[in-house]
Amino acid sequence: MALLEKISTRNDERSARLAGIGLMLAGVCFFSLGDALGKFMVKTYSVGELLLLRAVVSLILVTPLIWRSRHAFPRMSRPAMQLLRVALSIAEIAAFFAAAVYLPLADIITFYLAAPIFVTALSAVLLGEHVDARRWAAVGIGFCGILIALRPSSGVFDWPAAIALGGSVGFAFLMVVTRSLRGTPDIVLASTQFLGTIVFGAVAAPAAWLTPSPRDFGLFLLAGGLAVLASLCVNRSLKLAPASVVVPYQYSMIIWAAIFGYIVFGDVPPVATALGAAIIIGAGLYIFLRERNLGREETAVNPPA
């Protein structure tokens, strides 16, 4: 009987992991589709208008979750850090879509995949976390991948690429600040981010406002819905399966970016971008796996009470 229960438990865990992997892949696909849709929209509408309408739809969709967790908002800790996180989230998403006006999706995603590498470096400097020599070596290799993707041999530094790279750095700062606010409920983090984006969009959008056609308004609704759906898939994935199992699948975003970029915009990633992306992904995966192994070693030495 005990053996049957053990087998059943293992099967349940395996099913949960497979479901977590499936949800992570689906979430990444939804994020990538939303990115492609946003790139399509900013060819006609300003970045401010896109962010405004997208955030309004997202905030409306998560209203039931906000109501259910309404008691957590008055107890929100460290308001200055919360505001800094909102400002960083606005800056990085605005940089993403500003770069999308000029760059292929695969190029932008390549720079954003470097965010975990930046996080490792920033965590050592800002949070005082220990980073061993192997991870510093991976950080250095990752930066080499970034330089390759930037294609400096062209002789001219591409400012849209600089915007995308700056957005990636901003996203890394965002993750570091979010790590310092890990006690804050997810819905509080998400809803304050949507609200801050609405405020930014309300200020930035009127200068270049263009009333959407019924079809385009539907696309704005779709963009907001995809953002919420992707977030729900990723969050649920992390609850069903360990992060060490599902997080590496986030790198499938570069595949979706290449696919959507080719189908929708006819973009073919150059060799430098593909090579840089491969180096960045390899360095990021090494850092992730190294941190996981160090976490296991620390747990083995100091088991939880």
pLDDT confidence bin for 305, thresholds 50/70/90: very low
Query: How far, in Å, CA of 298 to CA of 291, rounded?
Result: 10
Q: Which domain holds residue 290?
A: 23-301
Q: Tens digit of pLDDT for each residue in 29-79?
A: 998 999 999 999 999 999 999 999 999 999 999 999 899 988 888 877 888
pLDDT for residue 203 is more than 90: yes
pLDDT for residue 152 is more than 60: no
In a domain, 16, yes or no: no
Query: How far, in Å, CA of 177 to CA of 247, rounded?
Result: 19
In a domain, 268, yes or no: yes
pLDDT for residue 304 is more than 50: no
CB of 232 within 8 A of CB of 190?
no
- pLDDT, residue 240, reads 81
In a domain, 150, yes or no: yes
Average pLDDT, the chain: 82
In a domain, 9, yes or no: no
- pLDDT, residue 205, reads 92
CB of 246 within 8 A of CB of 237?
yes
In a domain, 177, yes or no: yes
**Structural domain count of the chain:** 1
pLDDT confidence bin for 156, thresholds 50/70/90: very low
In a domain, 69, yes or no: yes
In a domain, 31, yes or no: yes
In a domain, 3, yes or no: no
Average pLDDT over residues 92-111: 90
Query: How far, in Å, CA of 81 to CA of 100, rounded?
Result: 29
